Structure 1
Amino acid sequence: MRSSLILLVCLLFILTGCKEDKQLSGDASTASDYLENMGYEIVSLTREDSILLQEHHLTDPGYEQIWKVQPFKPASYVDEEIAVVEFEVDNHPLEEVSDEKTTIVTVYLNKGEVIGGWSFPKDPYKALGGGVYSIDGRTMEEVQGEK
C-alpha cells in the first residue's frame, strides 16, 4: 500500500512537471518581446482582444485619455483592426512613484507591428493623478510636450 502511494505521488510530480506551457499568439509574442526589450519583466498575460477602430472611438470620452498618450495619430488607423494585448509587468517606471509592485501595460498593434499602448498602476485606486500613462509611464502632458 505504501509503495503504491509513493508511486502515485511520483507519477503526479512527473505529470505536473511535464505540463506544457500555453503558447502566446503572434501579437502577444510580439508585444511581450517589445515590453521585455523596454526592460519590463512579464508577470502574466491578462487580456488579448482586438478593436476595429471607428470614427466614434476618436471622440468617445472613454478613449480620450488613452489617445493623448499615444505616439501615433489614432485617425490614421480608422477602419483598421488594432490588436490589444494587456500584460501585468514588473520593473515599470510607475512602480517608482506608486507603491504598487506591478503595472498593467496595454500594447496596441496593427498588422503585427507595435504602434503604441498605455500603462496604469495595477490598483486603479492608487492611480497617480487619475489618468492613464504612456506605455513607458509618461503623463499626457509629457507626451503632448514632445509632439
Structure 2
Amino acid sequence: MKASWQRGWRPMKRLLYIIIGLVFLISVGCNKSISDDEKTAENYVKSQGYEITSRFGEVDKYTLEKSKLYGGTASIPYQQVWGVQEIKPDEYFGKEIVVYGFTVQNHPLQKRDKNAKNGVNLYVMLSDGEVIGGYSYPNADVVGAYSSIDGRTLEEVTGLSFQQWQENWKKKYGQDSVTQNVYTGQEKILLDYFNSKYPNSVVTDKCLVDVDNDGLEELLVALNTYSGINKTQEEEARKNGFDMRYVGIIFPKGENPTESLIVLGKIVEKGMRFEGSDLFVVETKENKTDQVKVKMNNQNGKEDYFTVKVSLNKDGTKNIQ
C-alpha cells in the first residue's frame, strides 16, 4: 500500500505540469508578438534593397509626448530623429513608438559619408505594429546628427536651413517646455547685453544652445568684427597674413541677464569669414552637447570650422576652447 503523501502528490504533479504548460504558452505568445514587430521592421529594411549584416533588436521604446521634442539636452536626440521624418510627430502624440536597429550595406549614406565605410546603422520606427519611419547613422564611433532613413540631411528633408528649421521647431514644440527660455525674450536680453558691451561688433549669426549642459541655454554669436581687447592680436595676425575670427558666448544665470561673457578668437587663413544664416552645427555625444562648430568660408567657397567646446569643472568653473 502506497503512502498517503504519494497518493496526494499525483494530482499536485498534474497541476504543476498544467501551470508550466500555461506559462510556456503565454511566454510563446508574448515572444511571438515582439518577433512579429521586429519581422515587420526587417521586411521593411529588405524591401528598400539594403543588405542586413547584423541586428540589434529593440533599441528604444517610448510614448511620444510634446515635452520630449523641446527643452534641455535630453530632447536633442528626439529632435534629430523626428526632424528627419516625412511624418509629423503631432500625429503620434500619446502613442507608443518602438524602434528596431540593424546594420546594413548598400545604403545611400555610404556614398556620401566617409564614416559609413563599415556600413550604416538603420533604425526603424513602428507604432501599432506598422512602420512609420526611421533614421540612419554611420556604423562608427563618430559624433553627429541622424540622417533620414534613406540618408538625407535635415536640410534636404525639410527644404530649410538648420537655423530656419530650429526656429520653426521651437515655436511649434517649445511653448510648453519648462526649460525653454528661462525668462521671456532670453535671446534678445542676452544679445542686448552683448551689444552694450561691444557696440561696434557686427553679429553675423546667433544661436541659443545649452553648450555646457547645465540646463540653461547660452547665446552664441559669430562675429565678423570685434571691438574688444584683442584688437592688438588682430592687427598682429593681419601682419602675418592671417585673420582673426571671433565667437562670443553669453552664459545666463537665473533671472540675471548674464553670468559671464566670453569672446574666443582664432587665427585663420586670410579671407575666411562667417557668412550666411546657417553657421552653427551642434554636435551631441551621449545625449549631451559635445561641441558647437561654427562654419567659415571664403569667396572661393573653401570651408573651415571654428569649434567651441565647454566643460564644467567640479568647482563650477568652465573650461572653454
TM-score, normalised on structure 2? 0.36
Distance 2:155 2:66 in 1: 24
Structure number having the greater strand percentage:
2
Distance 2:38 2:108 in 1: 21
From 153, 159, 167, the equivalent of 1:139 is: 153
From 106, 111, 118, the equivalent of 2:123 is: 106
Structure 1 gap segments, 5+ residues each: 1-22
Deviation of 1:86 (Å): 0.8
* Residues 98-129 of structure 1: per-residue CA shift (max 9 Å, x gap): 3422100111011111101100001142x6xx
From 36, 47, 56, the equivalent of 1:46 is: 56
Structure 1 pair 124–69 and aligned structure 2 pair: CA distance change class (3 A): farther
Structure 2 gap segments, 5+ residues each: 1-31, 161-321
**Does structure 2 retain, via aligned residues, the 8 Å contact 1:71–1:115?**
no
After superposition, residues 1-147 of structure 1 pair within 5 angstroms as: 25-48=35-58, 49-59=60-70, 60-99=75-114, 100-125=117-142, 130-145=144-159
Give the letter aligned to residue 50 of structure 1: K
**Does structure 2 retain, via aligned residues, the 8 Å contact 1:88–1:105?**
yes
TM-score, normalised on structure 1? 0.75
Give the letter aligned to residue 135 of structure 2: W
Structure number having the greater helix percentage:
1
Give aligned-pair identity as a percent: 43
What value does the CA root-mean-square deviation take over the aligned residues? 1.9
**Does structure 2 retain, via aligned residues, the 8 Å contact 1:58–1:75?**
no
Distance 2:140 2:95 in 1: 31
**Does structure 1 retain, via aligned residues, the 8 Å contact 2:118–2:140?**
no
Q: What count of residue pairs does the alignment treat as equivalent?
A: 121
